[in-house]
Amino acid sequence: MQRVTNLFPDTEIDWKAYMQEVEGVVNGTWDYYQLKGDTGPLVYPAGFVYVFMGLYYLSNAGTNIRLAQYVFAVMYIVMVFLVIRLYDRSYKVPPYVLIFLCCTSYRIHSVFVLRLFNDPVALLFVYIALNCFMDHRWRLGSFFYSLGVSIKMNVLLFSPALLLIYISCLGMKETVVNLGICAGVQLILAAPFLLANPVAYMERSFDLGRVFFHQWTVNWRFLPEDIFVSRSFHLALLLLHILVLVVFAKNVWLRILKNYPVLVGHGGLPYACQLLFLPLFTANFIGIVFARSLHYQFYVWYYHSIPYLLWSTSYPTVLRLLLFGIIEMSWNTYPSTDFSSAALHFSHVVILIGLWRNQPPLSAAVEEMGKSAQLNDFNAKLSELVQDAVNEPGAEANPEPVVVKQSANKKNPDGVVNLKNRKRR
């Protein structure tokens, strides 16, 4: 990171605009209609304002860009640690893939330490939240997830899967509590802006109707500009997005999430983590596949989850690495071309098909693990009853093994589970 910052002091795109936008708040303006910079009006939620206001003060009103770059370099290191921790706990991806993930992408390094975008800050909070969820600290995870949403609303792409996870793994009561935490964070952070002009804040910070410039698109370069900006095209993408989410939620996510509590309760944490991360990463990926436009900084939205998605398919390793390479090539082609955009879509669609095709056997395997875990639970309870019988007064000391039959398999060809030696009366 230090070598990158030394070779390329800064390649400013939005940093000055960020500083101009938060400077308005520093000067006492809380009306979102009045907050703007060189690139246009402020269009991010309140958390963005507070984070970059802190950087504003730290970097001497944005003039000490080198110091800000070092801050972003630290963020990058922390994020890599959090990502590796997820992969390490889930046993999903071979270790050598993490070397590619950390060292190969020039674009990701640029987004963090050269461009100083808000996208990596938002995703940093997402990965903090995912680590909290993995450790079963759900309420803390909901807090950090909502902080990510407050910096940039693309984090909402995870929300359909997260809602299903809340309901399936926590029950309705805890779901309401966690949703309340998410909503409370948003209200508290936005309170000064809502009091000043609530309409302005809601219209600007969560504007779903923004029209992007065709010249900056990475994924739709091959389309004519009139189609790219067409409302009909945007509506079609939205409907496809919703349709694919519903199909995956109904046929895949709900089916596998019902086994999460069983596996967690019986020590199957790596498999349970896989059930947790797969819906979240897939939901985010589906949103990216059907995005109206992707800009270069948006690569960080899903870059660190690409290996997880690839290794959740049944494709051979060579094809997985090839798809990863095509995606990397597409994002590193500047400016984007018809070919690079088409190649990116091709890779996305192939991965999405692979995720769908690999779900039935994955779900069946998980269900079998769940049945095995339930049998183990039954055996444990029976063992407790046997132990109670042993401890009763007058029990004789003639041990006889107690066994429970289950289906034979490779590890247990006889289908016999030894429970406990008991003593007959």
Residues paired with 404 in a beta bridge: 417
Banded model confidence at residue 425, pLDDT cuts 50, 70, 90: very low
For residues 327 and 200, membership in a common domain is answered with yes
In the chain, the amino acid numbered 352 is L
Helices then strands, counting H and E runs in the chain, come out as 20, 4
Condensed to tens digits (0 to 9), the pLDDT of residues 324-355 reads 999 999 999 999 999 999 999 999 999 999 99
Identify the pLDDT of residue 209: 76
Number of domains, the chain: 2
As a whole number of Å, the CA-based R_g of the chain is 26
For residues 291 and 401, membership in a common domain is answered with no
For residues 351 and 399, membership in a common domain is answered with no
What's the distance, CA 413 to chain centroid?
40
For residues 250 and 305, membership in a common domain is answered with yes
Condensed to tens digits (0 to 9), the pLDDT of residues 274-331 reads 888 999 999 999 999 999 999 999 999 999 999 999 999 999 999 999 999 999 999 9
Condensed to tens digits (0 to 9), the pLDDT of residues 55-108 reads 999 999 999 999 999 999 999 999 999 999 999 988 889 999 988 888 878 889
Q: Please report where in the chains the tokens 């690999």 appear, as a residue.
A: 358
Q: Is 134 in contact with 86 (CB distance < 8 Å)? A: yes
For residues 155 and 179, membership in a common domain is answered with yes
For residues 189 and 233, membership in a common domain is answered with yes
Residue 156 has pLDDT above 60, yes or no: yes
For residues 200 and 217, membership in a common domain is answered with yes
Banded model confidence at residue 409, pLDDT cuts 50, 70, 90: low
Q: Residue 114: which H helix or E strand, with range?
A: none
Q: Which pTM was predicted?
A: 0.83
- By 3-state DSSP, what share of the chain in percent is helix, strand and coil, each rounded to 5? 70, 5, 25
Phi, psi of 335 (to 5 degrees): -70, 165
Banded model confidence at residue 367, pLDDT cuts 50, 70, 90: low
Condensed to tens digits (0 to 9), the pLDDT of residues 397-408 reads 454 544 444 545
Residue 218 has pLDDT above 70, yes or no: yes
Condensed to tens digits (0 to 9), the pLDDT of residues 222-248 reads 999 999 999 999 999 999 999 999 999
Identify the pLDDT of residue 402: 47
Percent of the chain with pLDDT over 90: 67
Identify the pLDDT of residue 186: 97
For residues 204 and 169, membership in a common domain is answered with yes
Q: Is 90 in contact with 315 (CB distance < 8 Å)? A: no
What is the spatial distance between Cα 222 and Cα 345, in angstroms, rounded to a whole number?
11
What is the spatial distance between Cα 162 and Cα 14, in angstroms, rounded to a whole number?
31
DSSP designation for 249: I
Across the range 24-49, mean pLDDT stands at 95
Closest CA to 347 of 373, 313, 374: 313
Q: Among 313, 330, 357, where does a domain finish?
A: 357
Q: Is 181 in contact with 143 (CB distance < 8 Å)? A: yes
Identify the pLDDT of residue 200: 96
For residues 180 and 242, membership in a common domain is answered with yes
What is the spatial distance between Cα 113 and Cα 4, in angstroms, rounded to a whole number?
8
Q: Residue 88: which H helix or E strand, with range?
A: helix 65-90
**Opening angle at CA 98, ends 83 and 81, nearest 5:** 30
Identify the pLDDT of residue 350: 98
For residues 385 and 325, membership in a common domain is answered with no
Condensed to tens digits (0 to 9), the pLDDT of residues 109-143 reads 889 988 899 999 999 999 999 999 999 999 999 99
Across the range 156-181, mean pLDDT stands at 96
Q: Residue 36: which H helix or E strand, with range?
A: strand 36-37
**Opening angle at CA 366, ends 365 and 370, nearest 5:** 120
Residues spanned by the domain of 319: 2-357
What is the spatial distance between Cα 309 and Cα 304, in angstroms, rounded to a whole number?
10
For residues 231 and 375, membership in a common domain is answered with no
Residue 419 has pLDDT above 50, yes or no: no
For residues 256 and 398, membership in a common domain is answered with no
Q: Is 183 in contact with 145 (CB distance < 8 Å)? A: no
Residue 374 has pLDDT above 60, yes or no: no
Closest CA to 278 of 259, 300, 252: 252
Q: Residue 343: which H helix or E strand, with range?
A: helix 338-357
Across the range 38-48, mean pLDDT stands at 94
